[in-house]
Amino acid sequence: MCLAIPARIITKNGNLAQVDFGEAVLREVNVSLVEAKVGDYVLVHAGYALQVLDEQEALETLRIWNEILQTEA
């Protein structure tokens, strides 16, 4: 199962957080594997947050792609 879905941390209490997957329904997720704060987006897999999603890196990815598409032959 590689399926991991981004969710935004709405509240956090120790190892557990209430997150929003975009449906405005809050679900409980275990965040003991990540250093995340309220407002962060995390990748969630089977009820556990695996990594904090870096918005800067996401925007950087899009910027790099555009650069590749403009400049290379």
Partner 1 sequence: MIEKLKFRDAKLASRVAEKIRRVAQNERTIKICHVCGTHEYTITHFGIRTLLPSNIEVIAGPGCPVCIVPASEVDEAVEFARRGIVVTCFGDVLRVPGSELSLLDAKAQGADVRIVYSLTDAIKMAQTEKNKEFVFFAVGFETTSPSTAVEVASKPPKNISFLVSHRLIPPAMKLLAEMEDLTLDGFIAPGHVSTIIGLKPYEVFPETYRIPTVVAGFEPLDILMSVYMILKQQKRRAPKLENEYIRGVHPEGNTRAQELLNRVFDVVDSNWRGLGTIPTSRFTLKNEHSSYDANLKYGVKIERGTDIQQGCKCHLVVVGKIKPTECPLFKGACTPENPVGACMVSNEGTCRIWARTTTSPQTPPTPPT
Q: Does 67 bind partner 1 (CB under 8 A)?
A: no
DSSP H helical ranges for the chain: 55-71
Helix (H) or strand (E) holding 52, with range, is: strand 48-53
Site for partner 1 in 25-64 (CB under 8 A): 28, 30, 32-35, 41, 43, 45-48, 50-51, 53-55, 57-62
Residue bearing tokens 């870096």: 54
Q: Does 12 bind partner 1 (CB under 8 A)?
A: no
C-alpha 31/C-alpha 12 separation (Å) is: 9
| Contacts to partner 1 by CB under 8 A | 1-4, 6, 22, 28, 30, 32-35, 41, 43, 45-48, 50-51, 53-55, 57-62, 65, 68-69, 72-73
